[in-house]
């Protein structure tokens, strides 16, 4: 959408037929240059009805682009042909029916991403595009400038005008001036056709984008109304000048024929519809498959290749495998990405980092979740320290459990290492005291370490839930270490006697020597 991408010189290219957008940037008119489109075999744009710059069905615009002449000239010729015997109208309708819509024909892939599907969004989006194109679009070429902002709206207005004209002619006929015997029914037929055709475009487009099949109901309704108008017009044409009874007879005959046709064609139509549906489903499956394949290629296959290269190093292989397993699991079963950081997410990613760094498996179980605030971040930082100690000194298995309750957050890190005698730790080892215990206390929480030789180690962190608690500059309230069996009997082992700066750098953390 950046204006710098809108090269003024390219604005006229928006007029050209194709809407294929190979580089997938829908917002830039310049991107519509049919650079690599499949249409360029003969050096001229494919004959399609472009979305932009159309007044009715886009036939004239497309034709002009195809022939390399001005849109105005084509329109003039068409109008002239229409006035001189009406062949212009027939030609226009014929082309409208047969020339593919530029929106759906070639620019399939771009279309899917670009169109939210419903019409109001569509036109506003188009207006947005015109806005972003800025002056390049509106002044550069009359066709674009006029057509883009409200191509569909102007078409509606035109339709309204046509209907108004028809009404006038009808009034005129009633008033008795001029005898234009065939004109009225023809007008009805024409209007019906226009409504039906323009709506067919809509239906086709919305079908491709919404994938719900039928598009909007109103579009279908309008197609039906258009068809009805055509039929009425045709009947009027046929019954001209005959009596009421004969007219009714003809009407009945027409309806009978229509009903018969419907009877014959409906099963065929339904079958077509179904096969189309199946095709669409297959395409969706294919897309999903391609997505998965792309993901596997970027992740699993790369890791497998790495593992083959490093097959001599079991630690590296285990680390790679573990990291890949976690990543894949996250992809397959992970909760949808939440926009904001949460405590559970932070705990998991901290554990994942440590796993990757040290090649030791860290199993994480998190119950509940909450938004990550400053204190939560402090808890995660302390938890990270505790995990680091566990993988450094004990090795697998390391079990992390975090529970976010309404009134407190608790976290545990347990390892099955040799354990140690807390009293024997020299006072200058600051890993546990500053990074874990001191940090927790500054944020109003507690931390305690349970360990005994041969029993492994468990670090317990707790933050009370009241979020209004201010971080405290307090430390040194501890009164000795605790290595008893009860976790809650004495929660405050030695804490640091100096205020910690709350750094996240891994500390020495080798208290168990």
Partner 1 sequence: MTVRIVLVDDHGMFRSGVRAELAADPTIEVVGQAGDVDSAVAAVAEHRPDVVLLDVHLPGGLTRPGGREVLQRCAECLTAQPPVRFLALSVSDASEDVIAVIRAGARGYVTKTISGPDLARAIHRVHQGDAVFSPRLAGFVLDAFGAGTGEVAAVDDELDRLSSREREVMRLIARGYAYKEVAKELFISVKTVETHVSAVLRKLQLSNRYELTRWAADRRLL
- 106-135 residues near partner 1, rule: CB under 8 A: none
Distance CA 492, CA 398 (A): 23
235 is a site residue for partner 1 (CB under 8 A): no
Nearer CB in complex with partner 1: 61/399: 399
Q: What are phi and psi of 20, to 5 degrees?
A: -65, 130
If one asks whether residue 43 binds partner 1 (CB under 8 A), the answer comes out as: no
* Residue 74 near residue 99, CB atoms below 8 Å: no
Structural tokens at position 332:
């397959």
Provide CB contacts within 8 A for 327, sequence distance 6+: 299
Distance CA 82, CA 90 (A): 8
Cα 252 to the center of its chain, rounded Å: 51
Strand, coil or helix: 243? coil
Smallest separation, CB 452 to partner 1 (Å): 12
Sole window of 5-13, 87-95, 291-299, 329-337 interacting with partner 1 (rule: CB under 8 A): 329-337
- For strand 362-367 and strand 398-404, is the pairing parallel, antiparallel, or unpaired? parallel
37 is written with which tokens? 């489109």
Q: Which residue from 332, 428, 468, 501 is in contact with partner 1, where contact means CB under 8 A?
A: 332
Question: If you write DSSP's letter for every residue of 125-176 in order, what string do you get?
Answer: HHHHHHHHHTHHHHHH-HHHHHHSTTHHHHHHHHHHHHHHHHHHHHHHHHHT
User: Given the complex with partner 1, which of 236 and 459 has the nearer CB atom?
Assistant: 459
Q: Nearer to partner 1 by C-beta: 64 or 380?
A: 380
| 327 forms part of the interface with partner 1 (CB under 8 A) | no
**Closest CB to partner 1 among residues 268, 333:** 333
Binding of partner 1 at residue 320 (CB under 8 A)? no
Q: Which two tokens stand for residue 401?
A: 């459990």
C-alpha–C-alpha distance, residues 105 and 111, integer Å: 10
Which one among 176, 333, 468, 477 touches partner 1, defined by CB under 8 A?
Answer: 333
For residues 192-221, which are near partner 1 according to CB under 8 A?
none
Q: Which two tokens stand for residue 171?
A: 């009034």
Strand order of the sheet with strand 362-367?
A: 362-367, 398-404, 408-415, 457-464, 446-451
CA 107 – CA 24 distance, rounded (Å) = 10
Please state, in angstroms and rounded to a whole number, the distance separating the CA atoms of residues 190 and 83. Answer: 14
> In angstroms, rounded to a whole number, what is the distance separating the alpha carbons of residues 124 and 460?
57
Would the CA dihedral through 43, 46, 50, 56 be positive or negative? positive
Site size for partner 1 (CB under 8 A): 30
Token digits of residue 475: 């430390």
In the complex with partner 1, which residue's Cβ is closer, 32 or 322?
A: 322
Q: Mark the segment that binds partner 1 (CB under 8 A) among 64-72, 283-291, 330-338, 437-445.
A: 330-338
Nearest to partner 1 of 269, 405 (CB atom)? 405
d(CA 408, CA 215): 51
Site residues (CB under 8 A) for partner 1, limited to 6-25? none
If one asks whether residue 418 binds partner 1 (CB under 8 A), the answer comes out as: no
Q: 365-384 mask for partner 1 (x: CB under 8 A)?
A: xxxxxxx-------------
In the structure, how many helices (H) and strands (E) does the chain have? 17, 5
Provide the mask over 275-314, with x wherever binding to partner 1 is found by CB under 8 A and - wherever it is not: ----------------------------------------
Between 179 and 337, name the residue whose CB sits nearer to partner 1: 337
Binding mask 443-472 for partner 1 (x = CB under 8 A): ---------------x--------------
Contact between 36 and partner 1 per CB under 8 A? no
List the one residue out of 22, 27, 208 whose CA is nearest residue 112: 208
- CB of residue 351 vs partner 1: minimum separation in angstroms? 13
Q: Is 37 in the site for partner 1 (CB under 8 A)?
A: no
What's the gap between Cα 44 and its chain centre? Answer: 34
Cis amide leading into 205 (omega within 30): no
**Shortest separation between residue 266's beta carbon and partner 1, angstroms:** 34
SS3 at position 58: coil
- Residues β-bridged to residue 446: 462
One residue of 156, 279, 356, 363 binding partner 1 per CB under 8 A: 363
Minimum distance between the CB of residue 419 and partner 1, rounded to whole angstroms?
Answer: 13
CB of 1 to partner 1, least distance (A): 33
338 binds partner 1 (CB under 8 A): yes
Other Cβ atoms less than 10 A from the Cβ of 11: the count is 23
Q: If you ran DSSP here, which 8-state letter would residue 101 be given?
A: B
Q: Which lies closer to partner 1 via its Cβ, residue 252 or residue 367?
A: 367
Q: Is 414 in the site for partner 1 (CB under 8 A)?
A: yes
CB 344 to partner 1: min, Å = 8
Q: Using CB under 8 A, which of the segments 165-173, 332-340, 419-427, 472-480 binds partner 1?
A: 332-340
Residue 342 in contact with partner 1, rule: CB under 8 A: yes
Separation CA 422–CA 447 (nearest Å): 14
Piece in contact with partner 1 (CB under 8 A), picked from 8-16, 64-72, 258-266, 334-342: 334-342
Tell me the closest approach of the beta carbon of residue 211 to partner 1, in angstroms: 24
Mask 384-413, x = binds partner 1 (CB under 8 A)? -------------x-x-x-xxxxx----x-
> Under the rule (CB under 8 A), what is the footprint of partner 1?
325, 329-330, 332-335, 338, 342, 361, 363, 365-371, 397, 399, 401, 403-407, 412, 414, 458, 485
């Amino acid at each position: 959408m950046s204006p710098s991408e809108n090269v003024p010189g390219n604005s006229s290219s928006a007029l050209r037929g194709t809407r294929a957008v190979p580089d997938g940037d829908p917002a830039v008119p310049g991107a519509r240059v049919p650079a690599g489109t499949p249409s360029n075999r003969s050096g001229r744009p494919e004959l399609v009805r472009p979305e932009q710059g159309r007044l009715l069905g886009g036939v004239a615009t497309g034709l002009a682009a195809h022939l390399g002449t001005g849109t105005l000239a084509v329109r003039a010729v068409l109008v002239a042909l229409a006035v001189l015997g009406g062949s212009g109208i027939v030609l226009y309708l014929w082309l409208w029916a047969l020339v593919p819509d530029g929106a759906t024909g070639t620019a399939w892939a771009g279309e899917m991403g670009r169109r939210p599907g419903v019409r109001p969004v569509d036109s506003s989006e188009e207006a947005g595009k015109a806005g972003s194109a800025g002056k390049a679009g509106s002044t550069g070429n009359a066709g674009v400038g006029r057509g883009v902002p409200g191509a569909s709206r102007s078409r509606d207005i035109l339709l309204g005008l046509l209907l108004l004209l028809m009404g006038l002619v009808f009034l005129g006929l009633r008033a008795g001036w001029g005898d234009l015997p065939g004109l009225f029914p023809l007008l009805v037929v024409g209007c019906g056709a226009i409504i039906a055709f323009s709506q067919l475009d809509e239906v086709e487009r919305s079908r491709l984008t919404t994938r719900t099949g039928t598009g909007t109901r109103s579009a279908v309704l309008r197609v039906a109304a258009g068809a009805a108008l055509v039929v009425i017009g045709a009947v009027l044409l046929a019954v001209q000048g005959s009596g009421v009874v004969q007219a009714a007879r003809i009407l009945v005959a027409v309806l009978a024929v229509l009903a018969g046709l419907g009877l014959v064609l409906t099963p065929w139509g339904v079958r077509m519809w179904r096969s189309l549906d199946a095709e669409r489903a297959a395409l969706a499956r294919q897309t999903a498959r391609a997505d998965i394949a792309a993901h596997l290629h970027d992740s699993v296959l790369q890791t497998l290749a790495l593992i083959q290269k490093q097959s001599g190093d079991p630690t590296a292989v285990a680390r790679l495998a573990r990291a890949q397993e976690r990543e894949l699991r996250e992809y397959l079963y992970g909760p949808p990405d939440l926009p904001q950081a949460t405590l559970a997410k932070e705990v998991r990613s901290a554990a994942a980092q440590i796993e990757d760094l040290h090649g030791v498996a860290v199993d994480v179980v998190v119950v509940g979740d909450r938004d990550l605030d400053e204190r939560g971040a402090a808890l995660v930082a302390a938890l990270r320290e505790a995990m680091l100690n566990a993988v450094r000194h004990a090795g697998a298995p390391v079990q992390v459990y975090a529970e976010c309750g309404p009134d407190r957050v608790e976290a545990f890190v347990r390892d099955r290492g040799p354990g140690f005698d807390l009293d024997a730790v020299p006072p200058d080892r600051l890993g546990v005291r500053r990074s874990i215990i001191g940090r927790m206390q500054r944020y109003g929480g507690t931390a305690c370490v349970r360990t005994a030789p041969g029993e492994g180690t468990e670090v317990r962190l707790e933050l009370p839930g009241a979020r209004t608690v201010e971080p405290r500059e307090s430390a040194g309230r501890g009164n000795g270490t605790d290595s008893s069996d009860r976790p809650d009997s004495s929660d405050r082992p030695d804490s640091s006697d100096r205020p910690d700066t709350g750094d996240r750098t891994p500390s020495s953390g080798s208290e168990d020597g």
